Amino acid sequence: MNWLPLLLSGLAVGSIYALIGLSLVIINKATHVVNFAQGEIGMFGTFIALSVLSATGLPVFVVLVLSFPIGFLIGALLEIVFIKPVASGPPLNVLIVTLGLFFMFNSLAGIIWGFDPYRFPALFPTAPIAVGGAAVSPTSLGIIVITLLVMAALYVFFEHTRYGTAMRAASMNPFAARLMGIRVGVVATVSWGLAAGLSVMSGILIAPLTFVDQQMMLAIILKGFAGAILGGFASLPGAAIGCLLLGVMEAFVGAYVDNTIKDSFAFVLIIVVLMVRPQGLFTKALKRKV
C-alpha cells in the first residue's frame, strides 16, 4: 500500500482533531473547564451552514468563511447566557452546564433537522491528483492547508496582537490581569466565541467527508480531547501537534495492523504517555513554588 495517501488522510483527520483540540484548550485556558459541548456546537453550526447553503445557494467557500463568525456568535452567547452565571461557583458546576449544553444541542439538532445524514457539498475537487507517484485526495490536502492557515492566524493573534496578549495574561493570572485593566469577563466570552468558531469550521471541513448528522462530532470530540492531552493540554501548539500525530497513527494502525483496534490503540498509547510524561509530549511540566 502506498504510504503517502495514508499519511495525508491521517493528517487531514488529525487536522480536524486539531481544530477541536485547540478549541478545547482555548476554553480551558480561559475558564479552566473542559467544554463537553464543543463538538455539538460544531455539529449545530454545520447544520446551520448547510441550511444557509440550501436556502441561499452561496458558494461553499463563502459559507466556510462565514462559519467562523456564526460559530463565534453561538459561543459568545452561550458563555454570556449559561456559563457566566455559574462561573463563580465550583468548576464542577460549569462542567455540568457544558454536559447539559451537549444534550441540548444534540436533541435540538434532531428536532430541527431530523436524525438522518445529509450530504455536504465538496469544498475541493473530488478527483485524486498525482503527488510523488501516488493518487492523493485534494480534500485531504485542502483540509491540511486550511488548518495550517488557521493555526498560523491563531499564533499571530495570541503572540502579536494586544488582545491576544491580554487573553494570555488573563489565563495565566486573572487577578493581575484585572489590575492591569484587562476585562477578564470579556476575555472569557471571546474565548468561547473563538473556540466555537473553530469548532464550526472543523465541522464544515469534515462534513463533505463524513456527511452531516447529529452524531458527526461524537468521535471527533473524544479524539480531539485525547490528541490535545497527548501533545499537552497546556499548550496550543502542543495540542495541535498531538492531534495531528493521533490522526496519522490511527490511519497507519487501521491500515497495517487492525482497524478494530485503532481506537483503543490511540487511547492506550495516551495512557502510557500520561504515565511517563503527564504534561504531554510537547509541553514542559509546570512547577509550583511552595
Partner 1 sequence: MKTIRLSTLIGALVIAAPAFAGDPGVTDDTIEVGSILPLQSGLSAGASQYRDGIDAYLKWVNKNGGVNGRKIIVHFENDSYNPQQAVAAAKKLVDRDGVFAIVGTLGTTNTVAMIPHLANRGVPLIGPLGSHPSINTPTERIVFPISPLGTSHGISLAKYAAEELGAKTLAVFYQDDQYGKEILQGVEEYAEENGLEVVGEASYVPSDVDVSAQALSLRDTNPDAVVMAVIPKHGALFMLEAQKLGWDAKFLAPQLMSDKVSLDLGGSALNGLIINLYSAHETMDTEAVAEAKEAMAEFAPDTAPGYWPFMGMSGAKLFVTALRNVEGEPTREKLMDALEALGTYDSGIIPPVTYAPEKHAGPTVFGYAEVIDGEKGEVKVLKHWAD
Which chain residues interact with partner 1 by CB under 8 A?
Answer: 1-2, 5-6, 9, 12-13, 16, 110, 114-119, 126-128, 135, 137, 206, 209-211, 213-216, 218-220, 251, 254-255, 259-260, 263
- Min dist CB 178 to partner 1, Å, is 42
Identity of the residue, 124 or 282, whose beta carbon is nearer to partner 1 in the bound complex: 124
Identity of the residue, 5 or 238, whose beta carbon is nearer to partner 1 in the bound complex: 5
- Min dist CB 39 to partner 1, Å, is 12
Identity of the residue, 82 or 124, whose beta carbon is nearer to partner 1 in the bound complex: 124
Identity of the residue, 210 or 279, whose beta carbon is nearer to partner 1 in the bound complex: 210
Which three cell numbers mark 41? 456546537
- Min dist CB 223 to partner 1, Å, is 9
CA angle 102, 108, 110 (to 5 degrees): 105
- Return phi, psi of residue 28, to 5°: -65, -40
Are 221 and 39 contacting, i.e. CB atoms less than 8 angstroms apart? yes
Residue listed under C-alpha cell 493540554? 233
| Orientation angle between helical segments 162-172 and 184-210, nearest 10 degrees | 100
Residue listed under C-alpha cell 459568545? 76
Identity of the residue, 117 or 164, whose beta carbon is nearer to partner 1 in the bound complex: 117
- Cα dist from 258 to 105, 120, 230, 251, 261, whole Å: 34, 29, 22, 10, 6
d(CA 41, CA 196) in angstroms, rounded, equals: 7
- Min dist CB 142 to partner 1, Å, is 13
- Min dist CB 137 to partner 1, Å, is 6
